[in-house]
Chains A and B, each alone.
Chain A
Amino acid sequence: MATVSATASRSRRKRLSVGRLAAWAAMVIALLVTLFPFLWMIRTAFSTTRSLPSNPSSLLPADFTWGAFERVLGLGSRAQAIAEGGSGASVNFWLYLRNSFFYAGAITLGQVLFCSMAAYAFARLHWPGRNVVFGIFLGGLLVPPIFTSLPNFILVKNLGLLNTFPGMILPTFFMTPFAIFFLRQFFLGINHEIEESAALDGAGPWRTFFGIVLPISTAPVTTLAILTFITAWNDYFWPFLVGNNEDTRVLTVALGVFRSQTPAGSPDWAGLMAATLVAALPVLVLFFAFARKIIDSIGYSGVK
């Protein structure tokens, strides 16, 4: 069987060499379209905004400088910022960077802990009404976020939590239907014998979960944590509604403000691109560290 299929695929490959060449060409074009904008982002971030109009299409930075980054991180002087084409308004992305880390980090911690507990209860523990509750939870996937955002805004406002981290974090701190669904799928697949032997040793569900099930589930749990972090990091609408104060502003919201502050006639493109790079970098680093996990999880999570 193996040899038959090997010859079959080999003859197929030969016959279609022109087709394969065209296929590779299409793939290369797709890659270029995907990646080139990133290159352009980097190139612009290291340029001097005032030199961009006279040198708009070279691959290398126009008048190389670290100035844009200094401007965005509040390091350079005001005079230098204006000389290079910045608005001179004080921006401090360190603060927004910290806020983003706090916002995304807290959501990730809470959601992963509570959802793994709930997912375990749905997958393995027996209690009355389990399937009904799970069905209702899944129904939550169908409700568009905007629909719950308006009443949640009122709730957060009435609790006096507007422009506070608790107000921003709470709605996704305890659960999202997706996270529970994702982990439940994995817990369903764990061998029953592991829990049975734990029960024989006298371990209750609490100790079985934290002592045995969680430690052998680090792979899906970290995958979920990374996906949750990236999602929270990229959130815009909700933090924009309830946390648009300087003290609680996250990077995505800050970028929107930064863009609206730059003068319409001559935007500080280098500054904008440096700011987007600063905002994108943590997630890109996370991605490069866990690339295989993230890539493999897509499909498992989305389709299954």
Chain B
Amino acid sequence: MVFILPALIGFAAFYLYPTIRGFYFSLTQYNLLGTPKFIGFANFSKLFADQLFWNALWVTVEYVLINIGFQTVLAVGLAVLMDRLTKSTLLRGALLLPWLISNVIAAMLWFWLLDYQIGLVNQVIEFFGGNPTAFFGDERFAIPTIALVNVWRHMGYTALLVFAGLQTVPKYVYEAASIDGSSEWNSFWQITLPLLRPVLAMVLVLTVTGSFQVFDTVAVTTRGGPVNVTRVIQYYIFQKAFGEGQFGYASALSVILFLIVGVLATAQLRLLRSGESDLA
């Protein structure tokens, strides 16, 4: 029993207790200084009428769609390329590099590369005769830019997860298909993807859950601007709790985020029937 004790204390104090308290705080009015005052579901009814909440939710969904869409397609592509071309550890290590640096560093690096005046990307655009673009400052581009910066950071890591999944597909399946005259392209759609489904389900649950909680990149680059277009939900929670001291309201927002993430994870696992592989 002594073995489990430290972990049990840690779990009770910093996971279980705050989870219960988080739900309780969402039903209170609490400005950090006094004591929480129970107000029932008032925070939630206020929340559904809050334009900025709906904006934050929409912005986050936009971010997740761009981020996950590009990331998943690129990662599967890279994983298949690695699987078919080379198992070199050096190559896999190189692709993993962006994942090792923090979100803050990745954000800073791209903030520089995409700088309006002397950033390299705009230099290249101008060289080819285009107009410089304010990637972080333009309302149309801010969210796609932040989403793609994080695709850059996570692409290699996600590719390695998929690559690991590909290793569970036995080679004889491809060989049989090849002897039967199946092209590489057909084999990918008919064999690889179906057999990869359980792995893809897990990868998607991990990445979508993480993607909904984007914060760091926004916090060090745009801080929610220009005009709310990058105020993602976690940034809104942060502003409400620590900027405006509306802790109860912020807790209600995070309950919503919790529910969204939970429902999505369950739905994804169901839809992709991750439990069973077609191989069995």
Chain A residues engaging chain B, CB cutoff 8 angstroms? 4-5, 8-9, 11-12, 16, 19-20, 23-24, 26-27, 30-31, 33-35, 37-38, 40-41, 44, 52-53, 56-57, 114-115, 117-118, 120-122, 125, 127, 133, 136-137, 140, 142-148, 150-155, 157, 170-175, 177, 180, 205-206, 209, 230, 233-237, 240-241, 252, 255-256, 259, 267, 269, 272-273, 276, 279-280, 283-284, 287, 291-292, 294-295, 298-300, 302-303
Contacts and interface: CB of A to CB of B under 8 A. Distances in A.
B22 A151 contact: yes
B213 A145 contact: yes
Contacts of B167: 299
Interface string B102-115: 11110011111101
Given A175-B10, A236-B102, A142 B265 contact: yes
16 contacts: A4-B175, A19-B184, A24-B85, A30-B74, A34-B152, A38-B97, A142-B265, A143-B19, A151-B21, A177-B11, A206-B2, A234-B104, A255-B220, A256-B219, A280-B102, A299-B161
Given A52-B118, A144-B254, A298-B160, A151 B17 contact: yes
A53 B78 contact: no
Contact of A303 (B11, B113, B120, B161): B161
Given A146-B213, A173-B10, A276-B109, A295 B262 contact: no
Contact of A115 (B7, B94, B163): B7
Interface residues of B, number: 98
A102 B115 CA distance: 34
Contacts of A143: 15, 19, 258
Interface of B: 1-4, 6-11, 13-19, 21-22, 25, 32, 74, 77-78, 81-82, 84-85, 89, 91-98, 100-105, 108-113, 115, 117-120, 123-124, 127, 152, 155-157, 160-161, 163-165, 167, 171-172, 175, 178-179, 184, 199, 202-203, 206, 209, 212-213, 215-216, 219-220, 234, 237, 241-242, 247, 250-251, 254-255, 257-258, 261-262, 265
Contact of A241 (B84, B212, B242): B242
B257 A114 contact: no
B255 to A, nearest CB: 8
Nearest to B101: A280
Nearest to B260: A144
Nearest to A16: B184
Given A27-B81, A148-B19, A114 B7 contact: yes
Contact of B77 (A26, A117, A303): A26
Contacts of A41: 109, 112
Contacts of A299: 160-161, 163-165, 167
B93 A291 contact: yes
Contacts of B212: 144
B11 A175 contact: yes
B104 to A, nearest CB: 4
A299 B258 CA distance: 26
A133 B15 contact: no
Contacts of A155: 13-14, 17-18
Given A57-B120, A148-B19, 8 more contacts: A37-B110, A121-B4, A136-B11, A157-B32, A174-B14, A230-B100, A259-B220, A273-B112
Nearest to A287: B100
Q: Top 6 A-B pairs ranked by shortest CB distance?
A: A299-B164, A174-B10, A234-B102, A118-B7, A151-B18, A121-B3
Contact of B250 (A133, A150, A157): A150
Contacts of A284: 97, 100-101
Contact of B105 (A12, A40, A255): A255
A152 B21 CA distance: 9
Nearest to A137: B11
Contacts of A283: 100-101
A26 B81 CA distance: 8
A136 B16 CA distance: 9
A34 B103 contact: no
A95 to B, nearest CB: 17
